[in-house]
Structure formats: C-alpha cells, structure tokens
Amino acid sequence: MRTVRDAAFDVMRHHGMTTIFANPGSTEVALLADLPDDLDFILALHEGSVVGAATGWAIVRDAPALVLLHTTAGLGNAVGALATARVNRAPLVVLTGQQDRRHLAQEPFLAGKLEGLAGDYPVRVETPLRAQDVPGAIGRAAHAARTQRGPALVIVPMNDWAEPADDLPIPAPATLRQATAADPESVAQLAHLLHGARSPALVAGAAADTAAGWEALTALAERLNCPVWQESFGARAGFPQQHRLFAGHLPADRARLRDTLAPYDVVLAIGAPMLRQYAYVPGPLVHPGTRLALVTDDPNEAHRAPVELAVVAPLPALCAALAAQVPARDQAPEIPERAQPPAPPRPGEALRAAHVLAALAERLPADTVLVEETPSSRPDLHALIPARQPLGFLSAAMGGLGFALPAAIGIRMAAPHRPVVAVVGDGSSLYQIQALWTAAHYGVGAVFVVLANSRYAIMDRLAEKQGGKAPWPAFEEVSVGSLAEALGCPARQITHYDNLISELDSLVTTFETRAEPLVLEVVVEPDPTFQP
C-alpha cells in the first residue's frame, strides 16, 4: 500500500528537498524511521541551529530547504530563527509534528496549539484537513517558500504518515513559474526620473545579491557613473564593494543619513528597504530637494516605502532595461575615500578587532563567503573586508543573535567549493554554540573566527550613551574554545598578533579544501572609540 509518507517523499524529491535539517521528537519518528537512502538527515542539537543551517543552505541554493521540528517545544524554540529566515528572505519548508489526530480533541500529551505559535513570520501555515492532503500541503509550502521568500509551515499529525495515499498524481502544481521581464512603462518612468537628475546615487540592497543582480546593477551604475551605497544593516552585499563606484555603507541614523545623501538630487534604492534606520531620530530622511525612488521584488517593501515612485519588478531585468534607456554620464562622481587598515599593534599594545579583520582581509580568497555576527566590530569589518563576489557577505537581517554559526555550516554544506568564514563575537557565539557539534560530526570545513572580549561590548556602549551604568557583568570565565572542543570541534586560542598571523598563514591553503571545522578564539580588547 502506498502511504502518505511515500507520497510526501515523492513531493520532497520533486522540489529538490532531499536533505532534512532536524531536531526531531516522538511526533516525528513515524516519518523518519527507515529513511530512504536517497534522503539525507542532518541533526543539530537545538532548533535555532536547525533553522540557521537550513537558512544558509537555502540562501546558497536559492531553493527551499526542508526543516523538521518537534511540535510545540521545537517550533517554539525555533521562532526567533524563523523570524531571521523570513527577513533574510530564505525559502524554507518547515514540517512540524502534531499529536495523533484521532484524539486531538482531548488535547493529549504533546498536543500543541501550533498554527499561531510563530506569529506572522511564516509566509504560509497549513494544517491539512485530512492525512491525504499532506503531500499537497508540502508542495504548496514549497511554492510559497520560493515565491514569497520565507518559511512555510506544514503541521502534520503523527498518524498521518501511515495512512493510505490518495491516487492524485499531482497533489499541487508540479511547476510554478513567475514572470522575469520588466514592465516597459515602469522602466520609462524611472529612466525619466534619472534623466533629469543632476547628481544621482544608487543604494544597493540584499535582494540584488545574485550574479545577475550584480551584473545588471554594475551596468546601470557605470552608465550613470554615479556612487553606489550599500543599505544600512544589509544582510547581503548588493554590489561589488571593490568597484570604483562603491561609496560605502549608509549610516543608520537620520542626521548622518541626511548629511551623507545631501549631495544627491535623486536616490534610487534597488533591492533594499528605503533607507532603513535603527534608533529613532526626529526629522526627514533626506534634505528637501532629494527625490527618492525604489525598485524591489517584494510588494510589502514597496508598500511601506516613503518614496515618490516604487516599482515592483524582477531586479536584474529592470536594471538591465533601465541601463539601456538612461543616457551615459561623463561627470566624475565624488567617492568617499576608503578606510585604510590599521598598522599592526606595537609590542605591548592590545590586539583589537580591526587588527584581526585587516589580517583576514589580506588572506581571504575572493570567493569567500563571510558570515558576520559581531555587532561592535561590524563597521570595521565593512570597511576592511569588501564583498568581491555574490554571496560574499551574509548577516542576520533581523538583527537577532545566534545566526552566524549554524548559517555558516549550512552554507558550507551547500557550497563545499567556496571558503566559508564566520566572524562572530564571543557573546554572539554562545547563542548557538551547540551548532559546532553539527559542523564537527558532518565534517563541515568552515572556519569560525571568534572575537573574544568577554563582554557584550555594544551593549556597554549603548548604556554609556544613555548616561547610565550597565547592570550586566562581563563573562570572563567563558572559554569559547573549550566549549567548542567539548562539542568535538577543534579550537585554538590566540592572544598575540604574531600567533594570529601564523595561524592565518597556515589556513590560507586550506580554506577551500578543508573537511574539518576550526574555531579561532582571538582575545581582543574592545575599541574605546566605537560608537553604535
């Protein structure tokens, strides 16, 4: 007898979801026992690590990754990571177990109220009305995850897998296609706006971070011969950051933002939220006379944008069509000078994050995927390590901690030919430190550079800005390297610059080929000049 489980596996295969990222419980055993040989199972020791690794995998593959979570506790533990996946626009299909539907009405042990547990972060939530609807629900979730760019949740009662399957050959659309052409009228409106500009500028965002996006946006920027800024708090690089027209990263407070954009009369954001902010500061985003426009493939992003013109369209196609319509500009733009790396520390001088990042910048291959989660060092990282290829930079768009370690693991699994380096603070690493077990167990050759200052440095600075004293202590007792080794992951502690250079020089030839993870715990002093 062909079962719902058999039909579900066929749907998973059809959508390329043959790797299952999971931390299962008893409500999922019926699906997983005697898993077919063509399906791979990846275990992580916490649901945040499960979703984080799947998010990295999905971003690299640009296709839905399959996540399996255990009823209420599992889904509840994963909500923060699912929120990050949604804002990072990572397509995930999330299967969550439920108690046997034959006695759900009595709310038995492990029954969960699951439909609203993840809030509005899933792009779709479905509890199939009957067991035979499960395969179709998985297919619908795959389409929703791909087209709406986020996690789609399917809740499956544990007895459904063994029920007889329907004889429907295609329980959901086998193929779903979206238009890839740009609307000529929209292109003409944008071209008219740019044609009249005296001093235009572009803002590149995470959604442009594809090979086609970089190529089309570069052609447009070179046609306009204008500066290209990176969105603030961008989760990915939308433009080659070593390019002569790259101007840097926009500030995230309005006063500095207004000053930064003051020279421009037209600012066009492409694949980015329109001038995303952090702390609220009164006043307009830009000075009077600066006109704002947006191109995005996310309708919700367009709906909330404070612009005079917002266009929802496929980004590469629209940029290419726009480059063909705007006249070439000869006027040389003013591009801010790039930050210079700091000199190596003098004997007796404290090792700082900028020294580590400058040393990394000299040694990382151009195709490295750099995963960032070090809030107090992010400005130095942006200034010193440009993204030179698509997917050269990745961070958590939501801003929550616990993303970088598992995401780096999923990325390296999905792209074993690319070097993957995660740069994280020691405080950040502790949110998903158990992800290192997965890296060690499955032989994932990612490198984790942990900048260890034994405190929440950015929180300390924020408390100082408020004029108060932070009530939280430092955590000098914590050794990230020891925790890594306890989880089976090799680790080395570095306290001096010469040791750092020696370690990095020995790693240079292994970044692409290594089959073992490594944690470099680098002891650094906080930068007293850093201001969040």
Q: What is the 3-state secondary structure (H, E, C) of 165-233?
A: CCCCCCCCCCCCCCCCCCCHHHHHHHHHHHHCCCCEEEEECHHHCCHHHHHHHHHHHHHHCCCEEECCC
Do the domain assignments include residue 217? yes
**Nearest CA to 147 among 204, 205, 95, 89?**
89
**50 and 94 part of one domain:** yes
Q: CA angle, corner 236, sides to 530 and 245, nearest 5?
A: 80
- Measured on CA atoms in the order 150, 156, 158, 163, is the torsion positive or negative? negative
**Would you write out the chain's pLDDT as a tens digit for each of its 532 residues?**
899 999 999 999 999 999 999 999 999 999 999 999 999 999 999 999 999 999 999 999 999 999 999 999 999 999 999 999 999 999 999 999 999 999 999 999 999 999 999 999 999 999 999 999 999 999 999 999 999 999 999 999 999 999 999 876 667 788 888 878 889 999 999 999 999 999 999 999 999 999 999 999 999 999 999 999 999 999 999 999 999 999 999 998 889 999 999 999 999 999 998 888 888 888 888 999 999 999 999 999 999 999 999 999 999 999 999 999 999 998 889 999 998 999 999 988 989 999 999 999 999 999 999 999 999 899 999 999 999 999 999 999 988 899 999 999 999 999 999 999 999 999 999 999 999 999 999 999 999 999 999 888 888 878 887 888 889 888 889 999 999 999 999 999 999 999 999 999 999 999 989 999 999 999 999 877 776 6
**127 and 248 part of one domain:** no
In angstroms, the CA 77 to CA 58 distance is 20
**Maximum distance among all Cα pairs of the chain, rounded to whole angstroms:** 75
Query: Burial of 303 by CB count in 10 Å (0-12 exposed, 13-18 middle, 19+ buried)?
Result: exposed
Do the domain assignments include residue 23? yes
pTM, to two decimals: 0.94
**217 and 288 part of one domain:** yes
**375 and 254 part of one domain:** no
**205 and 318 part of one domain:** yes
C-beta separation of 131 from 159 below 8 A: yes
Do the domain assignments include residue 31? yes
Residue 314 has what pLDDT? 95
3-state DSSP assignment of residue 39: coil
Q: How many residues does the chain have?
A: 532
DSSP track, 331-393: SPPP-PPPPPPPPPPPTTPPPBHHHHHHHHHHHS-TT-EEEEE-GGGHHHHHHHS---STTSE
**389 and 478 part of one domain:** yes
Contacts of 99 (CB under 8 A, 6+ apart): 27, 71, 108, 109, 110, 111, 112, 157, 158
Do the domain assignments include residue 288? yes
**23 and 154 part of one domain:** yes
Structure tokens at 366: 């151009």
The CATH number assigned to the domain holding 300 equals 3.40.50.1220
Helix axes 404-414, 47-61, angle to 10 degrees: 40
In angstroms, the CA 183 to CA 311 distance is 9
Structure tokens at 328: 């070439």
- Fill in the DSSP letter of residue 408: H
Residue 465 has what pLDDT? 79
In angstroms, the CA 62 to CA 412 distance is 14
Do the domain assignments include residue 246? yes
3-state DSSP assignment of residue 291: strand
Contacts of 393 (CB under 8 A, 6+ apart): 234, 236, 237, 369, 370, 372, 387
Neighbours of 196 (CB within 10 A): 11
C-beta separation of 62 from 316 below 8 A: no
Residue 510 has what pLDDT? 93
Do the domain assignments include residue 277? yes
In angstroms, the CA 236 to CA 394 distance is 5
**256 and 302 part of one domain:** yes
**373 and 502 part of one domain:** yes
In angstroms, the CA 408 to CA 187 distance is 37
**43 and 87 part of one domain:** yes
**Nearest CA to 484 among 517, 514, 454, 453?**
517
**376 and 466 part of one domain:** yes
C-beta separation of 293 from 267 below 8 A: yes
Do the domain assignments include residue 409? yes
Domain span at residue 102 reads: 4-162
The CATH number assigned to the domain holding 364 equals 3.40.50.970
DSSP-assigned beta bridge partners for residue 97: 156
Do the domain assignments include residue 142? yes
Residue 169 has what pLDDT? 63
In angstroms, the CA 484 to CA 355 distance is 24
**Per-residue 3-state assignment (H helix, E strand, C coil) for 109-177:** CCCCCCCCCCCCCCCEEECCCCHHHHHHHHHHHHHHHHHHCCEEEEEEECCHHHCECCCCCCCCCCCCC
Which of 277, 307, 325 terminates a domain? The answer is 325
Q: How many domains does the chain have?
A: 3
Query: Burial of 428 by CB count in 10 Å (0-12 exposed, 13-18 middle, 19+ buried)?
Result: buried
**392 and 495 part of one domain:** yes
State residue 44 phi and psi, 5-degree precision.
Answer: -125, 155
